[in-house]
């Protein structure tokens, strides 16, 4: 494992923990999109179908369990916790899941390396991860209410994506036959979706101001 891959995994982990800790300690999920969190739970559930069948390393298995556990915990908090769920911006978080899930599933059935149940769902999880942040970005635009933690959450997710791209570039030049179009294109698209948000994030950080998105 190279340093970019490890940094990517750690920022990904940090993003999820920041969100979980925020919800757990301040008992509020204001500004957090449940739609995005449910999509991430689906992403991990469909990607890690191999968790008990294909052993790669203790690190991999452990991280998979952490991502599955944390994403489902966040969804549970937002839907079922008697205090947290009251702070959920239900009326603003109106993005429909199936607008993203159905096209990703269809695309995964057309574009895949092998037409099998696991391969199609694995490809589906890559496509869905690429667009899963959209309900969150829409919610931010609507409420324009971004506390520091929500901003940091999205910033860390973006950093994770950027590190993974460096990881792929590194592996492309250091490992023979390392060419994987599907995750690369899905990953590149996902990183681009953060570009706009990053612009405003850095702008507010540079001017030492609270992050505000334009209407």
Partner 1 sequence: ARSGVTKDEL
Q: Is 45 among the residues that bind partner 1 (CB under 8 A)? A: no
Which listed range, 27-35, 73-81, 149-157, 171-179, lies at the site for partner 1 (CB under 8 A)?
Answer: 171-179
Please give the full DSSP string across 92-141, using - where no structure is assigned: T----HHHHHHHHHHHHHHS-SS-SHHHHHHHHHHHHHHHTTHHHHHHHH
By the 8 A CB rule, do 36 and 131 touch?
no
Q: Is 164 among the residues that bind partner 1 (CB under 8 A)? A: yes
Q: How far is the CB of 114 from partner 1 (least distance, A)?
A: 9
Question: How many other CB atoms are there within 10 angstroms of residue 53's CB atom?
Answer: 7
Q: Is 180 among the residues that bind partner 1 (CB under 8 A)? A: yes
Q: Is 63 among the residues that bind partner 1 (CB under 8 A)? A: yes
Q: Is 56 among the residues that bind partner 1 (CB under 8 A)? A: yes
C-alpha count within 13 angstroms, C-beta hemisphere, residue 16? 23
Nearer to partner 1, 25 or 57 (CB): 57
By the 8 A CB rule, do 200 and 213 touch?
yes
- By CB under 8 A, name the one of 94, 175, 199, 212 that touches partner 1: 175
- By CB under 8 A, name the one of 60, 87, 92, 145 that touches partner 1: 60
Q: Is 27 among the residues that bind partner 1 (CB under 8 A)? A: no
Q: Is 196 among the residues that bind partner 1 (CB under 8 A)? A: no
Q: How far apart are CA 111 and CA 122, in angstroms?
A: 11
Q: Which residues within the stretch 121-160 sit at the binding site for partner 1 (CB under 8 A)?
A: 122
State both tokens at 36. 């995005």
- By CB under 8 A, name the one of 4, 11, 12, 16 that touches partner 1: 12
Question: Could you tell me how many residues of this chain bind partner 1 (CB under 8 A)?
Answer: 20
Q: How far apart are CA 64 and CA 79, in angstroms?
A: 23
Q: Which residues within the stretch 83-112 sit at the binding site for partner 1 (CB under 8 A)?
A: none
Q: Is 183 among the residues that bind partner 1 (CB under 8 A)? A: yes
By the 8 A CB rule, do 133 and 193 touch?
yes
Please give the full DSSP string across 159-208, using - where no structure is assigned: HHHHHHHHHHHHHHHHSTT---HHHHHHHHHHHHHHHHHHHHHHHHHHTT
Q: Is 61 among the residues that bind partner 1 (CB under 8 A)? A: no
Q: Is 79 among the residues that bind partner 1 (CB under 8 A)? A: no
Could you list the residues that contact partner 1 (CB under 8 A)?
5, 9, 12, 50, 54, 56-57, 60, 63-64, 67, 113, 122, 164, 167, 175, 177-178, 180, 183
């Amino acid at each position: 494992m190279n340093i970019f891959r490890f940094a990517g995994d750690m920022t990904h982990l940090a993003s999820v923990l920041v969100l979980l800790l925020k919800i757990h300690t301040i008992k509020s999920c204001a500004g957090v999109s449940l739609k995005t969190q449910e999509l991430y739970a689906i992403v991990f559930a469909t990607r890690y179908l191999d968790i008990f069948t294909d052993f790669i390393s203790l690190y991999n298995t452990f991280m998979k369990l952490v991502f599955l556990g944390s994403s489902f915990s966040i969804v549970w908090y937002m839907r079922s916790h008697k205090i947290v769920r009251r702070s959920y911006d239900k009326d603003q978080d109106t993005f429909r899941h199936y607008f993203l899930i159905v096209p990703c599933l269809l695309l995964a059935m057309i574009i895949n390396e092998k037409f099998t149940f696991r391969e199609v769902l694995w490809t589906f999880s890559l496509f869905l991860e690429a667009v899963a942040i959209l309900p969150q970005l829409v919610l931010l635009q609507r409420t324009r209410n971004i506390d520091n933690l929500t901003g940091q959450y999205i910033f860390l997710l973006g950093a994770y994506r950027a590190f993974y791209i460096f990881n792929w570039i590194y592996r492309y030049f250091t490992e023979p036959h390392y060419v994987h179009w599907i995750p690369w294109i899905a990953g590149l698209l996902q990183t681009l979706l953060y570009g706009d948000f990053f612009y405003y994030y850095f702008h507010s950080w540079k001017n030492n101001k609270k992050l505000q998105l334009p209407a």
